Amino acid sequence: MDFQRAIEALRTGAFILVYDGDGREAETDLTIASEFVSPASIRTLRKEAGGLICMTLSGEVRARIGLPFMADVLRRATPTYPVLGAISTEDMKYDRHSAFSISVNHRETFTGVTDIDRAKTISRLAAIAKEATKRENGWAADVFANEFRSPGHVPLLNAAGPLLAERRGHTELTTALMIMAGLAPTATICEMMADDGHAVSKEDAKAYARARNLVFLEGQDIVRAWRSWSA
């Protein structure tokens, strides 16, 4: 079964492909568990996927750290910068709201954008995410503030809660996979782009997966598995 193969692959640090769904973005994200991200992983994402390399966080981890949604930050800053009110309307054609939060660099990075720097930022934040729910309130926020700065080169994506109840984007789908796999509740994802200026089609993404013996999962299959797992 593809779902079980995907879970096993994620546990070994392998990539999988996740397609959100027809009628939504209709895009495929190359996906890896954040706790296994290395400089080689970042190189693969930027060269073979080509979209924006982002890191997801579960709602529980987001709450423990105290991270906002970026649209809320922009709206709250509108009295000082009025133009922000006009651009934070979230009028996307495929969803009601954006998952984007702030962007960060680990303080031990230099520019933050190299493969080594981005891997450092992601892997360290994944370790914090894994520990966050086991520690006392305030621990994750303190460690995050001490170790990271913003803005940076790793965009963070906040999974909407309850997970997969309403929003079913790549952020929620891949975060649910990490939780079901027993991994840190964070995925590193990147949209797969084609050379014609568009996103890679579903069929071409499937062909990419077959050629590399990677698992291709559809969002609807992840939603069904989540419902069964979380029942």
What positions carry a catalytic annotation? 29, 54, 94, 105, 153, 191
DSSP per-residue codes, 104-161: EEETT-SSS-SHHHHHHHHHHHHHHHHHHTTSPTTHHHHHHHHHEEEEEEEEEEEPPS
Instruction: Report the distance separating Cα 65 and Cα 185, nearest Å.
Output: 13
Long-range contacts of 120-123 (CB under 8 A, 24+ apart): 121/148, 121/152, 121/153, 121/154, 122/34, 122/37, 122/42, 122/55, 122/154, 122/188, 123/34, 123/35, 123/37, 123/38
Whether the ω angle into residue 185 lies within 30 degrees of 0, i.e. cis, is: no
Instruction: Report the distance separating Cα 87 and Cα 99, nearest Å.
Output: 16
Instruction: Report the distance separating Cα 16 and Cα 32, nearest Å.
Output: 7
- 209, 174, 164, 99: CA torsion to nearest 10: -120
